[in-house]
Amino acid sequence: MPRIITLRDALREAMSEEMRRDENVFLMGEEVAEYNGAYKVSKGMLDEFGPKRVIDTPIAELGFAGIGVGAAINGLRPIVEFMTWNFAVLAFDQIVNNAAKTLSQSAGDFTCPIVFRGPTGSAGQLAQQHSQTFESWMANVPGLKVISIVDPKDAKGLMKSAIRDEDPICFMESEMLYGHKGDVPEEEYLTPIGKAVVRREGTDVTLVSYNKMSLVAEQAAVELAKEGISAEVIDLRTIRPLDNKTLVESVRKTNRMVVVDECWPFAGVSAEIAYEIQKYAFDYLDAPVTRVNSADTSLSYAPTLVEEWLPNASKVIKAVKEVLYVNA
> Would you please indicate which residues are annotated as catalytic (active-site) residues?
61, 130
Q: In what order do the strands lie in the sheet with 231-235?
A: 197-200, 231-235, 205-209, 257-261, 290-293
**Are 272 and 242 contacting, i.e. CB atoms less than 8 angstroms apart?**
yes
- Spell out where 135-180 has E strands: 145-148, 169-173
Q: How far apart are CA 44 and CA 22, in angstroms?
A: 18
Q: How far apart are CA 98 and CA 106, in angstroms?
A: 11
Q: How far apart are CA 138 and CA 259, in angstroms?
A: 19
What does the DSSP assignment read for 309-327?
Answer: HS--HHHHHHHHHHHHSTT
Q: How far apart are CA 116 and CA 168, in angstroms?
A: 8
Taking each continuous run of H as one helix and of E as one strand, the counts in the chain are 12, 14
What does the DSSP assignment read for 245-261?
Answer: HHHHHHHHHHS-EEEEE
Q: In what order do the strands lie in the sheet with 77-81?
A: 54-56, 25-29, 77-81, 115-119, 169-173, 145-148, 238-240
Q: How far apart are CA 191 and CA 202, in angstroms?
A: 24
Q: How far apart are CA 273 and CA 247, in angstroms?
A: 9
Q: How far apart are CA 148 and CA 138, in angstroms?
A: 11
